[in-house]
């Protein structure tokens, strides 16, 4: 806990002491060891490349396909169970 407080005080002090001999690049935080290119497991693919294997889909594609499927299921069941209700056909008299 004390180490966090000391680190926060040092960071605040370094930000407030901006002088001309320190380039602004030293004030930027570095990403460190955040290696975004280091993959663990099989690479993710588009949903149309492997349509039968949702485990390998990209997360965005899985969300889009899932929400579309739920929307179609809910809309289809609503239309199936409410068909004919509310429709009043009037017979045209000649």
Supply the pLDDT for residue 64.
95
Tell me which residue has tokens 């239309």: 79
CA dist., res. 46 & res. 24, Å (int): 41
Confidence category of residue 12, pLDDT binned at 50, 70, 90: confident
Q: What is the share, in percent, of the chain residues with pLDDT greater than 90?
A: 29
**Which of 29-38, 48-57, 80-89 is least confident?**
29-38
| Ranges of each domain in the chain | 44-82
pTM for this predicted structure: 0.47
Residue 12: HSE in the Cβ half-sphere, 13 Å Cα cutoff = 6
């Amino acid at each position: 806990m004390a180490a966090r407080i000391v680190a926060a005080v040092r960071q605040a002090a370094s930000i407030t002491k901006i002088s001309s001999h320190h380039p602004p690049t030293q004030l930027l935080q570095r990403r460190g060891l955040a290696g975004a290119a280091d993959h663990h497991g099989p690479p993710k693919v588009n949903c149309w490349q492997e349509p039968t294997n949702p485990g390998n889909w990209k997360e965005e594609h899985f969300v889009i396909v899932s929400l579309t499927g739920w929307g179609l299921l809910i809309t289809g069941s609503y239309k199936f169970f409410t068909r004919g209700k509310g429709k009043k056909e009037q017979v045209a008299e000649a």
